[in-house]
C-alpha cells in the first residue's frame, strides 16, 4: 500500500514536471500585419515625381512568458515594378523607432537604413517582459528623401504602427523558474524510485493478460 501511494505521488510529480516544461518551452505565438503607405515625393525639387507606395510588414510576439524575450520585426520594401523608385537623382533613407513602455527594448533609440528598389530593408527589436500585463507599443517610421541636386533633404513621419503584446505567468513565476522546477521534478523522480518505463511495461502486461483472459 505504501509503495502504491509513493508511486502515485511520484507519478503526479512526473506529470506535473512535464507539464511545467511544456508550458515553459511552448513557442511564442507571432502575429503580423501588412500596411501599404503612399509616399509623397512632391518635396523633391526639380524632379516632378509622382507618389509611390511602400510595403510595411510588421511582425511581433503576440504572447510572451514573463521573464522571456519577445521580438518585433519590420520589413520595408519598394515595389520594384514601380518606376517612381528608379530615379538615380533621389535617395531614400528610412528611420524607425520602437516604443514599448515598461520593457527594456533593444536596440534603443532611432535606427536607419537606405532603401533600394527590389530589396527588403529590415529592422529588428527584442525586449523582455517584466510583469504579467498587456503591453501597448508603437513602431514609428520616418522617411528621409535626399535629392542629389544639393537641395536640403526632407524628412517626415509616414506611419505609426501599433501593436499589442500579452505577457503571461504561471503562479506569478518567471518562465525560467518554471523550467527549472520542471527539470528538478524530473530529476527527483528516479531518486524517489519511480521508473516510468517499468510502470508502463507493467500496465501493458496487465492489459495484455486481461485481453487474453477475455479471448479464452
What does the pLDDT average to over 133-138?
87
Q: How confident is the model at residue 56 (pLDDT cuts 50, 70, 90)?
A: very high
83-to-53, 78, 118, 173 alpha-carbon distances in Å: 11, 10, 11, 54
Residue 78, pLDDT > 90, answer no
Residue 72, pLDDT > 90, answer yes
Q: What are phi and psi of 120, to 5 degrees?
A: -85, 135
The 3-state secondary structure of the chain reads: CHHHHHHHHHHHHHHHHHHHHHHHHCCCEEEEEEEEEEECCCCCCCCCCCCEEEEEEEEEEEEEECCCEEEEEEEEEECCCCHHHCCCCEEEEEEEEEECCCCCCECCCEEEEEECCCCEEEEEEEEECCCCCEEEEEEEEEEEEEECCCCCCEEEEEEEEEEEEEEECECCECHHHHHHHHHHHHHHHHHCCCCHHHHHHHHHHHHHHHHHHHHC
What does the pLDDT average to over 54-80?
87
pLDDT at residue 69 in the model: 79
pLDDT at residue 106 in the model: 86
What are 207's three cell numbers? 492489459
Containing domain of residue 50, as a range?
A: 1-216
Q: Name the region of 75 (left: φ>0; alpha: ψ -120 to 50; beta: rest).
A: beta
- Domain count for the chain, please give it: 1
**Global confidence as pTM:** 0.70
Domain containing residue 101: CATH number: 2.60.40.10
Q: Are 94 and 119 in contact (CB under 8 A)?
A: no
Q: How far apart are CA 24 and CA 145, in angstroms?
A: 46
Q: Note the pLDDT tens digit of each residue in 185-213.
A: 666 666 665 555 566 566 667 766 766 66
Nearest C-alpha neighbor of 119 from the set 85, 160, 155: 85
Q: How far apart are CA 72 and CA 123, in angstroms?
A: 8
Q: Note the pLDDT tens digit of each residue in 104-116.
A: 788 888 999 988 8
Nearest C-alpha neighbor of 90 from the set 107, 100, 78, 103: 78
Amino acid at each position: 500500500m505504501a509503495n502504491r501511494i509513493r508511486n502515485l505521488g511520484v507519478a503526479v510529480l512526473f506529470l506535473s514536471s512535464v507539464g511545467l516544461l511544456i508550458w515553459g518551452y511552448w513557442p511564442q505565438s507571432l502575429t503580423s500585419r501588412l500596411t501599404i503607405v503612399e509616399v509623397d515625393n512632391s518635396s523633391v525639387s526639380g524632379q516632378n515625381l509622382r507618389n509611390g507606395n511602400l510595403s510595411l510588414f510588421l511582425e511581433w510576439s503576440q504572447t510572451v512568458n514573463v521573464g522571456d524575450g519577445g521580438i518585433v520585426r519590420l520589413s520595408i520594401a519598394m515595389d520594384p515594378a514601380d518606376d517612381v523608385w528608379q530615379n538615380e537623382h533621389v535617395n531614400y533613407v528610412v528611420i524607425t523607432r520602437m516604443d514599448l513602455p515598461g520593457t527594456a527594448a533593444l536596440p534603443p533609440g532611432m535606427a536607419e537604413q537606405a532603401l533600394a528598389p527590389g530589396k527588403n530593408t529590415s529592422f529588428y527589436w527584442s525586449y523582455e517582459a517584466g510583469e504579467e500585463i498587456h503591453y501597448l507599443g508603437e513602431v514609428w517610421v520616418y522617411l528621409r528623401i535626399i535629392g542629389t541636386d544639393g537641395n536640403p533633404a526632407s524628412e517626415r513621419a509616414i506611419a505609426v504602427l501599433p501593436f499589442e503584446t500579452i505577457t503571461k505567468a504561471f503562479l506569478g513565476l518567471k518562465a525560467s523558474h518554471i523550467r527549472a522546477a520542471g527539470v528538478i521534478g524530473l530529476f527527483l523522480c528516479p531518486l524517489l524510485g519511480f521508473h516510468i518505463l517499468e510502470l508502463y511495461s507493467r500496465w501493458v502486461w496487465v492489459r495484455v493478460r486481461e485481453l487474453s483472459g477475455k479471448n479464452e
